[in-house]
């Protein structure tokens, strides 16, 4: 009989402990919900916003974090140049594929080699000659520094397109003016699509 009483007491105590634990968890969750704001507006990072604005020159942004500010700044600039290069590379390759598919003449080079030549002969120099137009610096809780930069090509889009066309002609990659014009048009479309697709 005593054993039964002891067992009953243990079950009741366990049930009460479980009930207290559940009540405590529910209380904590309720307190957290009360402290947490129901709606928080996120502010847009200025460098990202600037990179995505309409402009006469091609732009891109980059970011990096380091415990040394100069290192973070250099890495962010490198990241931005890489992003700009990737954007142009995708656009040039898209235009080269379009040219390969629609050209009526015997091709002197494949779409891949055509894209590589344009990047090597003209675009790489333009990318290395960019300028930083905006910098944002944040001190993080762990003591590190996060940097965002927005870079811009010094050459306006119109002049850049002329430069690509001139490279296609001088390197004898695309000899016919009509085909060069189509290449530039397609490249511009690809740039716009890439920008829209990768907007944050």
Q: What are 86-141's pLDDT values in tens digits? A: 999 999 999 999 988 887 666 666 778 888 889 998 899 999 999 999 999 999 99
Give this prediction's pTM. Answer: 0.76
Cβ contact 64:48 at 8 Å: no
Element (H, E) at 50: helix 46-52
Span 33-41, mean pLDDT? 67
Q: Is a pLDDT exceeding 60 seen at residue 13?
A: no
- Using a 10 angstrom Cβ sphere, with 0-12 exposed, 13-18 middle and 19 or more buried, the burial of residue 39 is exposed
Rounded to whole angstroms, the Cα distance separating 80 from 138 reads 17
Whether the pLDDT of residue 30 is over 70: the answer is: no
């Amino acid at each position: 009989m005593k054993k039964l009483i002891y067992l009953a007491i243990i079950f009741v105590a366990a049930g009460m402990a479980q009930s207290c634990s559940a009540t405590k968890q529910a209380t904590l969750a309720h307190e957290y919900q009360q402290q947490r704001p129901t709606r928080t507006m996120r502010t847009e990072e200025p460098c990202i916003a600037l990179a995505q604005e309409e402009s006469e020159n091609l732009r891109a942004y980059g970011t990096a974090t380091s415990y040394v500010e100069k290192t973070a700044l250099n890495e962010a600039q490198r990241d931005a140049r890489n992003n700009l290069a990737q954007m142009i590379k995708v656009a040039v390759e898209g235009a080269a594929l379009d040219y390969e598919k629609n050209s009526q003449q015997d091709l002197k080079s494949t779409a891949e080699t055509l894209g590589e030549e344009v990047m090597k002969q003209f675009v790489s120099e333009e990318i290395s000659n960019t300028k930083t137009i905006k910098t944002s610096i944040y001190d993080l809780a762990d003591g590190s520094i996060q940097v965002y930069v927005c870079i811009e090509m010094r050459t306006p889009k119109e002049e850049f397109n002329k430069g690509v066309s001139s490279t296609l002609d001088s390197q004898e990659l695309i000899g016919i003016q009509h085909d060069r014009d189509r290449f530039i048009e397609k490249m511009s479309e690809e740039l716009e699509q890439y920008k829209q697709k990768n907007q944050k």
